[in-house]
Structure 1
Amino acid sequence: MKRSTRKAIPLLTLATIIAILFLLPLIWMVFTSFKTLSESMASSSILPQVWTLENYTGIFSSVTEAPIFRWLFNTTFITAIGTIIVVVVDILAAYALARLNVPGKKVILGMIFAALAVPGIVTLFPAFYMFKEVGLLDSYIPLIMPYTASTMGVFLVYNFLLSFPKDLEEAAYLDGASQWQILYHVIFPAIKPVAMTLAVITFLAIYNDYLWPSLVTNSNEMKTITLGIATLIQGSNFVNPAKMMASTVIATIPAVVIFLLANKHIVKSVTNTGIK
């Protein structure tokens, strides 16, 4: 066995143990969702002795009290629109600041950097009262509008463009390409890993948000999946660990799928430090 391999074994073992520890709550959640009520409250084993789907069928059958399909639609619609707008706006803003002669560029950059230090909860109640005054509560507009831009996204793309060589853009200019053609055919393919990372971060932030939807929604039909699941596990379901875990699994699946699909782009955006 090579010396480098022997040195790597302890690190791999430690990494495996840490990964198992992080995955253990998720594994317990999934297996508990397939247990009966009595077993979920009395048994301490991870694997269920009697496998059942009654927790899932119970959730999807009570569409009157818990319209989970509507909650999933609301969350999908809000998350998709919000993520697309954030990625487009942040890329355009970062490109303008990095490449164009924007008046007051230094002031704008200073405001963006200062905004990174402002906690999001500071703007929460002013935004709530603003939507309340114009009568837009309990609609899709207040659920989407706060996610139309991200200072962190502008910062990420802007810093990437600073290290991106201008030779390719100048060559495209000499070939007669327009500003939009250069942005689409030259810049965007280069920043695709960064854009995908920004999209995943934004997706998870919007998808997992609980506080803001709880403020701006009143009706059961306008709830997101996170807010709906929180409502669903109250009352009689609060003493039913199996059903609570089943509802949590349903809410977790979309986020896990998105992360797995975009994982290679996230790794690429971290490892890529320039153009080779």
Structure 2
Amino acid sequence: MKSMKKSNKLALIIAVIMAIFFIVPLLYMFFTSFKSMSESLSSAGLVPQSWTMENYQSLLEDTSTSPMIRWLLNTTLVTVVGTTIVVTIDVLAAYALARLNLPFKNIALFIVIASLTIPGIVTLFPNFFIMQEIGVIDTYIPLIVIYTSSSMGVYMIYNFLKSFPGELEEAAALDGASRWQILRHVILPSIKGPTTTLAIMTFLAIYNDFLWPSLVTNSTEMKTVTVGVANLVQGANFVNPGRMMAATVIATIPALIVFVFAQRFFIQNDTASGIK
């Protein structure tokens, strides 16, 4: 018992130290965003001596160089549409591989698994040149089309379906249900957990993506929030830490909200799995 208590205390201390390493930069970012330019350059204190909203006001009012609202709208559109496409295609592909008698199904599954070993950077520039050749650079098309499917998502849902009993599907088929009805009313409710997990992971991945949007966007209006904030930090705002941190706070809030929701979902999903 004493050894268990000591190990629990040690684990708690390590967890607290790790939490501090994660939280302190966030607190610095938050508090610095409310400092004036002079205070953010001269003061070493964490909490502002004089709170100000001028950094946020200047960011939101200067729509020519920092259209934050437009960047957030672009990111929201790309993220929501991209996540919807990925989840839809992955579910359909996984269901086809797990349940349908398709020709060359094993070869298709091998290709899906093999594609997991290919780094994304390898396909980055070929995709860019394709988008350039068809003339869609600096539009929403390359920002969305690149997120059409995920081999990891297909494989994850495929494994779940392979372990899912098929008796319910057979019973629905005997009652006259079609393939689409079985998929909609039997399969989808049963794979709600992994599907939601895939959606959250895809949402965060697309939202935080920087490299691809930086390649296919040129104009200020078409940038996503990650590219826009990076340009602000590299520009004249580099000498104004308060404005830099304000832009980072605005860009972080949506992802932070999704992360908090995701954490709650993962906990509930693990708890439900343990009860079962």
- What TM-score, normalized by structure 1, do the two folds share? 0.93
Aligned counterparts, 1:1-276, within 5 A: 8-269=8-269, 276=276
Greater CA deviation, 141-150 or 46-55? 46-55
Residue deviations 1:67-105, cap 9 Å, x none? Answer: 211111111101100000000100010011011111111
Label 1:185 to 1:2 Cα distance change in 2 as closer, same or farther (>3 A).
Answer: farther
CA offset digits 1:123-143 (Å, max 9, x no partner): 111111111111111111011
Give SS of 2:122's match: helix
| Alignment partners' CA distance in 1, 2:132 and 2:146 | 14
Deviates more, 1:194-203 or 1:79-88: 194-203
Letter in 2 for 1:117: T
8 Å Cα contact 1:196-1:262 kept in structure 2: no
Q: Which structure 2 residue ranges, 5 or more long, are not aligned?
A: none
Q: Name the CA distance, whole Å, in 2 between partners of 1:274 and 1:159.
A: 19
Counterpart amino acid of residue 73 in structure 1: L
Q: Partners of 2:57 and 2:130 in 1: how far apart?
A: 41
RMSD: 2.1
Question: Which amino acid counterpart does residue 41 of structure 2 have in structure 1?
Answer: M
Deviation at 1:269, TM superposition (A): 4.7
Where do 5+ consecutive residues of structure 1 fail to align? none
The farther-off stretch of 158-167 and 170-179 is 170-179
The alpha-carbon distance between structure 1 residues 135 and 211, as it changes in their structure 2 partners (threshold 3 A), is same
Deviation at 1:222, TM superposition (A): 0.8
TM-score between the two structures when normalised by the length of structure 2: 0.93
Q: Which amino acid aligns with 1:143?
A: L
